[in-house]
Structure 1
Amino acid sequence: MSIDASSPPTPAPVTGWLTTSDGARIPYRRQGSGPALVIVPGWSQTAAMFQHQLDALSDRRTVVVADVRGHGEAPPPPGGLRMARLAQDVRELMDHLELERAHLLGWSMGASVLYAFVDLFGTDAIDRLVLVDQPSMLLQLPGMDEEEIADAGAIFPIATLYDLYAALSGPDGEATRAGFVAGMVTPSISPALYDWILAENAKTPPALAATLLLSHGTNDWRDVLARIDRPTLVIAGSVSHVPPRSQRYVHSRIAGSTYHEFGAHDGGAHFPFLEAPDAFNAVLRTFLSPE
């Protein structure tokens, strides 16, 4: 049965909570049994957005998706709004669930969290890795030429990043974020789904999102790519605000990786798992269950 992509998903109830080593409270949803797939959502986004994957992929595996600290159903954390701490949260979630190894999927900032995971912990705990629509570097550094900027996907000059931080932290933070999110979807998205995405984003306080954005935006993960030695799928969108060239660069730097690019009429912006869930799930099934 195909999924109605014009309507928002109906999120399942939270099934458990992790209290991290620094005192943050993180809710997660877990469905199915078998080999584990752990999904890491993106900046200002929520675990509820992956309900279609929880429902569709849990027939053959255990699917787990947790809110990033301070996002979705997670209360504001005591701190730790840094990529390294979020990677530690993933490690602690796996330990909490007694998962020695798992498939890991990171979308948007969630992919950066997994770059940090590899940087800190290596790849021993990873079966297969899925990286969805995230550049290896967001910040344009002095001395980078146009080719380097395009390959890295460095979409932020430093002044733009600081201005965005200031706007998110200010009285018009919600409007700033809504404008940012508007550039992440296809023009054909249904109003009901788009409004739901905005409502899910609103669960993350803009000031918290601003603080996290600075850590997210100022990391350079290019040296980590060559250290990824697990089967990896890189997913891009042809009309995403994340330039597809940056995803092809990630693919080129990870030996033996697989690349898939969703087209303009197939959910090919930043939310393919919501705008084209059947196609997205089919790509995942093929990659996670090779012949």
Structure 2
Amino acid sequence: MQKTIAGLALAAVCGLLSVQVRAEPALEVLGRDFVFPHRVEGVPARLSDFKDLQVNHFVTNDGVKLAYWEAGQGKPLILVPGWSANGAQYINVMYLLARHYRVYVLDPRNQGLSQHVDYGTRIARYSMDLKEFGDHLGVKSADYVGHSMGAAVLWSYIDLFGTGAMHKAVFVDEPISIYSHSDWSEKERSEAGGSTSSPERMVAALTSGGPVNKLITDMKPFERAQSFDSPYFANSEGFASAVIKSDPQAMGRVLFNHTVSDWRDVVRHKIDIPVAIFSGDESNNLPSQRWAQSVVPNATLYSYTSAEQGDHFLMFKNPVKFTGDLQAFLAR
């Protein structure tokens, strides 16, 4: 589950229909430059080094103003953040991918630079937002990458709209069902990735400072989120923390619905496009990712070692390897 660092309310809704507007340079939207704490070869040393990074927005059919980040040229590649995440965290990933694709990161409602609302806070609505985003861009077919809850949004999208507008799909370290049902065997729990039997206590722990332990939720993401042994991760988290204001209450509105959603039937029966799955040795989700690979026809599993930063945040901690593997998969 993504680290809580997101949420900044934008201006009031300016209409009920999606409207194409001119994208603005991220530097102007954020109102400041940013110097990354670690200088790393191959990625920006400061925000202004990423000259074509832009921020745009559109308005959903239920009147919510959603922000998105974009850069690069080429085939469209749409990245869907996890719970509490935002486009700022993707700064290194976008920079590396923008050499080869037109890259988009959509800030979900109540996250990042998107508007905060108290309605539509269900995974199904988030997948509708994603569908409308593709329509807004005029994209007939794109590759999609969902990290954490973003993978669940893709599963919901496939469930509701099919795969006609998807060329390939990538799922990064998301349990198939976070909620572990009381009648499951240990094998079923492991294959689904179940990590809580109390969604209410899990939501309270993640949004309002409730007590947390291994019986409430998987503690590994908490532990790994605090490990800044990757300079890439330290840079992107530092940037996101500086430019995005956190609002746990707004972000938490979707969390219960996300926690109790079981996507095993979608993963088992409805995915008919090439799929890549990413996880690693430092993630307790790895068994469920192996199960997903076993039931999705011709799915490819990329499992990173501890030395390769194979945890829930692998794409941010090791963006060079991740984007290289992603490009190789998309190029097949």
> What's the TM-score once normalised by structure 2's chain length?
0.77
> Of 235, 238, 256, which aligns to 1:214?
256
Q: For this pair of structures, how many residues does the alignment match?
A: 283
- Maintained 8 Å contact 2:282/2:305: yes
Structure 1 stretches of 4+ with a deviation exceeding 6 A read 7-12
Shift in Å, 1:197 = 7.6
In the other structure, the counterpart of 1:283 is: 325
The one-letter amino acid of 1:37's match is L
Between the aligned partners of 1:269 and 1:286, the Cα distance in structure 2 is 21
> Of 300, 310, 315, which aligns to 1:273?
315
Shift in Å, 1:29 = 1.4
In the other structure, the counterpart of 1:32 is: 72
Which stretch shows the higher mean deviation, 269-278 or 117-126? 269-278
> Of 86, 94, 109, which aligns to 1:46?
86
Which stretch shows the higher mean deviation, 131-140 or 48-57? 48-57
Instruction: Look up the SS of the partner of 2:160 in the other structure.
Output: helix
Between the aligned partners of 2:242 and 2:306, the Cα distance in structure 1 is 24
Between the aligned partners of 2:56 and 2:236, the Cα distance in structure 1 is 28
Between the aligned partners of 1:200 and 1:234, the Cα distance in structure 2 is 31
Which runs of no fewer than 5 residues in structure 2 stay unpaired?
A: 1-39, 214-218
Between the aligned partners of 1:249 and 1:102, the Cα distance in structure 2 is 26
Between the aligned partners of 1:246 and 1:222, the Cα distance in structure 2 is 10
1:19-59 CA distance string (max 9 Å, x none): 00111111111222221110000001111111222221222
Which stretch shows the higher mean deviation, 247-256 or 106-115? 247-256
Which runs of no fewer than 5 residues in structure 1 stay unpaired?
A: none
- Maintained 8 Å contact 1:181/1:198: no
Say what the alpha-carbon RMSD is for the aligned residues: 2.9
1:219-273 CA distance string (max 9 Å, x none): 0000001210000001112102x42111101111111111101111112111112
- Maintained 8 Å contact 1:128/1:231: yes
In the other structure, the counterpart of 1:229 is: 272
Between the aligned partners of 1:106 and 1:256, the Cα distance in structure 2 is 18
> What's the TM-score once normalised by structure 1's chain length?
0.88
- Maintained 8 Å contact 1:14/1:27: no
Question: 2:169 matched to 1:126?
Answer: no
Question: 2:176 matched to 1:149?
Answer: no
Distance 1:115 1:152, change over 3 A: same
Question: 2:202 matched to 1:164?
Answer: yes
Question: 2:182 matched to 1:138?
Answer: no
Question: 2:56 matched to 1:16?
Answer: yes
Between the aligned partners of 2:271 and 2:241, the Cα distance in structure 1 is 35
- Maintained 8 Å contact 2:180/2:189: yes
The structure with the largest alpha-carbon Rg is: 2
- Maintained 8 Å contact 2:81/2:150: yes
Between the aligned partners of 1:75 and 1:243, the Cα distance in structure 2 is 31
- Maintained 8 Å contact 1:106/1:130: yes
Between the aligned partners of 2:242 and 2:81, the Cα distance in structure 1 is 12
> Of 97, 106, 113, which aligns to 2:137?
97
1:174-225 CA distance string (max 9 Å, x none): x99xx88632437434594486288279734111222211011010000001
The one-letter amino acid of 1:205's match is D
- Maintained 8 Å contact 1:34/1:61: yes
Distance 1:265 1:142, change over 3 A: same
Instruction: Look up the SS of the partner of 2:78 in the other structure.
Output: strand
In the other structure, the counterpart of 2:282 is: 239
Instruction: Look up the SS of the partner of 1:183 in the other structure.
Output: helix
In the other structure, the counterpart of 1:69 is: 109
Question: 2:290 matched to 1:248?
Answer: yes
Quote the sequence identity (%): 29
> Of 79, 99, 109, which aligns to 1:59?
99
